[in-house]
Structure 1
Amino acid sequence: MLFIKRSGKHITIAQVYVDDIVFGSTQPGETDQLVKVMQQEFEMSIIGELTYFLGLQVSQTKEGIFISQEKYAKNLLLSKFGLESAKDARTPISTTSKLLKDEKGTSVDSTMYRSMIGSLLYLTASRPDIMDTVMLTGQEMLTTEKVHQADVSLSEKI
């Protein structure tokens, strides 16, 4: 759940996921005030500056806040599906590509295929450039064949 408080040109946010809370503000002192209020209401500990949350790596610099899922993609996603040695793809498959039914195709485990698509959907949080490809390959979940799983495997090593 995301809570947003706007005060003039400033914004304060609190993101709650199960028992984790991430919050911040563009207004000096507002975060400290939020911490005091939260600690009065809830038993909680402050870990410090956000660096990793729900598979998102967060880097805060003077230039801005940068979000990445490199650790998720490399360590979890690729090893989960045995793609560590797969060839890197510079870009996902073309958005004009059409995935066609392979009449002579070999069926594959649809549970594994759905898991691959789900994992890739989560990756689109920091990689919106792969959304078209993920959605295109996700359309084949009812008639999953080896050719479709190969398409996902190619787009997954990003």
Structure 2
Amino acid sequence: MTQPPGFVDLKHEDYVCRLHKSLYGLKQAPRAWNERFTTFLPSLGFKSTFADSSLFVKIVDTYVVILLLYVDDIIITGSHPQAITEVIQALTHEFDMKDLGPLHYFLGIQIVQNKNGLFLSQDKYVTDLLTKSDMLLSKPCATPCLPYNRLLSNDGKPFNNPTMYRSLVGALQYLTFTRPDIAFAVHQVCQFMQRPMDSHFMAVKRILRYLKATRGCGIQYIRGSLDLSAYSDADWAGDPNDRRSTTGMVVFLGSNPISWMSKKQQTVSRSSTEAEYRALSTTAAELDWLKSLLSFLQISLAEPPLLFCDNLSAIALTCNPIQHQRTKHIEVDVHFVRERVAKQQLHVQFVSSTEQFADILTKGLSAPLFQTHYANLRLNFSAPELEGG
């Protein structure tokens, strides 16, 4: 490597430094590699976007090539096979890379291409997690948490191994990338990382028992329309510890779920209308981001996104520009959903509570209702061949 500024030998300015440790083993290696790689991509015609700094797109005439970078793992796809091959050859010539062929395994996620589309799962990850927690032979259960039950911060005795608790919960967080059905249950146990109780660990074990029963579960993505729609829900004052509400939302591209969230709101809502209105604002922001991302991928929406909500009062707030006495305390930034509706960039529509897909992300449900929403999220079972490590 060249001599660093400030440490140049004046007698031998043309000398270089000899590394005693591989650059790949240094702490700053991933950042250095990412900077080197992203600096080279523009020379191949790729452009980055503010919507996602790890996503690069190359557009030439009628075809597009998309490259996704995560540290040193890369996915390349596009609409023209020859253009993809040329990009791979250029990258291989510049960097020491290996082409693993069609996508089967990426960052712990298994991808199976079948006649219906793509099937994404983390079956191997679940098996490794059950083995690590010694729950591989546990008794399975039908739901990841007790119906309509909330965890208390001081329920029972402190758990004697908080390190193991944090390790398991952290692993479960990564599993929610392909398992929206456990998002709410994982959201609950994540709140007690600092001081877990025995009851909290029992909740973690129930999630693992549910995973034992649904090891082969994943999301099936099929071909369809490119219309954006979303379901927004909130459980008003559902947390007994601080009385904050939980926002649940799921976004569909056509009939395929592409984004979901179960997250506690930052402030206490004074009514169910306010809680639902805040959830609408959060979901509208996610739709804005997805619209900009799709636009960068040269995908145009024929119609404005459709946002479903099961609270008529919250829907009325999105259409009514008058500041009522009961809503004047709500922060200004939450009202931006009203601006989107006024400009006809977003349509908000009522949906009955029985057809509210996001209900599974705000509370624990009974087994029959849980199975209904489980199917609504296009979760099903498959037996994909395990690949990778």
Task: Give yes or no for TM over 0.5.
Answer: yes
- Aligned residue for 1:70? 123
Count of matched residue pairs = 157
Contact 1:25–1:31 (8 Å) recurs in 2: yes
Compared CA separation, residues 122 and 104, structure 1 to 2 (3 A): closer
Deviations 1:54-87 (A, max 9, x none): 111111123212111011101x100111111112
Aligned partner of 1:73: which letter?
V
Matched, 1:18 2:81: no
1:85 aligned counterpart, secondary structure = coil
Matched, 1:56 2:105: no
TM-score by length of 1: 0.85
Matched, 1:116 2:168: yes
1-structure distance, mates of 2:82, 2:173: 36
1-structure distance, mates of 2:130, 2:184: 20
- Aligned residue for 1:145? 197
Compared CA separation, residues 44 and 6, structure 1 to 2 (3 A): closer
What is the Cα deviation at residue 26 of structure 1? Answer: 3.2
What are the equivalent positions in structure 2 for 1:42-53 lying under 5 Å apart?
42-53=95-106
Which deviates more from structure 2 when the two are superposed, residues 44-53 or residues 19-28? 19-28
Contact 1:121–1:134 (8 Å) recurs in 2: yes
Compared CA separation, residues 110 and 10, structure 1 to 2 (3 A): farther
TM-score by length of 2: 0.37
1:2 aligned counterpart, secondary structure = strand
What is the Cα deviation at residue 20 of structure 1? Answer: 2.6
What is the Cα deviation at residue 43 of structure 1? Answer: 1.9
Q: 1:80 aligns with which of 129, 132, 142?
A: 132
Which deviates more from structure 2 when the two are superposed, residues 9-18 or residues 98-107? 9-18
1-structure distance, mates of 2:112, 2:63: 21
- CA-atom RMSD in angstroms: 2.3
What is the Cα deviation at residue 6 of structure 1? Answer: 6.1
Aligned partner of 2:204: which letter?
V
- Aligned residue for 1:129? 181
Compared CA separation, residues 64 and 30, structure 1 to 2 (3 A): farther
2-structure distance, mates of 1:36, 1:109: 50
1-structure distance, mates of 2:142, 2:64: 37
Higher relative contact order (Cα pairs below 8 Å, separated by 6+ residues) = 1
Matched, 1:2 2:36: no
Deviations 1:17-52 (A, max 9, x none): 333322212334332122122122212121211211
Compared CA separation, residues 151 and 57, structure 1 to 2 (3 A): same
Deviations 1:86-118 (A, max 9, x none): 122332115742101445424321111111110
2:192 aligned counterpart, secondary structure = coil
> Which structure has the larger Rg?
2
- Aligned residue for 2:92? 39
Compared CA separation, residues 111 and 30, structure 1 to 2 (3 A): same
- Aligned residue for 1:90? 142
1-structure distance, mates of 2:69, 2:78: 15
1-structure distance, mates of 2:64, 2:146: 38
Aligned partner of 1:25: which letter?
G
2-structure distance, mates of 1:6, 1:120: 35
Which deviates more from structure 2 when the two are superposed, residues 6-15 or residues 124-133? 6-15
1:139 aligned counterpart, secondary structure = helix
What is the Cα deviation at residue 12 of structure 1? Answer: 3.0
Aligned partner of 1:35: which letter?
I
Compared CA separation, residues 20 and 103, structure 1 to 2 (3 A): closer
Unaligned runs of 5+ in 1: none
What is the Cα deviation at residue 125 of structure 1? Answer: 0.9
